[in-house]
């Protein structure tokens, strides 16, 4: 475990979309699409998962930007 928290995109309850990590709101957006772009950028930098929640707050999709996805095996 790398100790880093996944990045989440979720509805904030006031009609906006939040991007959060480790329980901290990083940014707030008017659309889910804009929040996903911001969250994806942060997840790539942090090498963690992007977790997208739907309007109902439930899990919708997940993308991995962890170090293991960019690692190559030696000898192949």
Closest by CA to 10, choosing from 36, 47, 49, 44, is: 36
Q: Residues 51, 40: contact at Cβ < 8 Å?
A: no
Q: How far apart (Å, rounded) are the C-alpha atoms in residues 36 and 10?
A: 9
User: Per-residue pLDDT tens for 1-30?
Assistant: 456 899 999 999 999 999 999 999 999 999
Burial classification of residue 45, based on how many CB atoms lie within 10 Å of its CB (0-12 exposed, 13-18 middle, 19 or more buried): exposed
DSSP symbol at 9: E
Render pLDDT for 36-64 as a digit per residue (tens, 0 to 9): 999 999 999 999 999 999 999 999 999 99
Compute the distance between CA of residue 36 and CA of residue 40 in angstroms, rounded to an integer: 6
């Amino acid at each position: 475990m790398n100790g880093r928290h996944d990045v989440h995109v979720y509805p904030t309850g006031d009609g906006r979309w939040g991007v959060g990590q480790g329980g901290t709101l990083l940014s707030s957006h008017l659309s889910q699409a804009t929040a996903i772009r911001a969250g994806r950028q942060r997840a790539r930098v942090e090498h963690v998962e992007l977790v997208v929640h739907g309007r109902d707050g439930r899990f919708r999709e997940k993308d991995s930007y962890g170090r293991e996805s960019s690692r190559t095996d030696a000898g192949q």
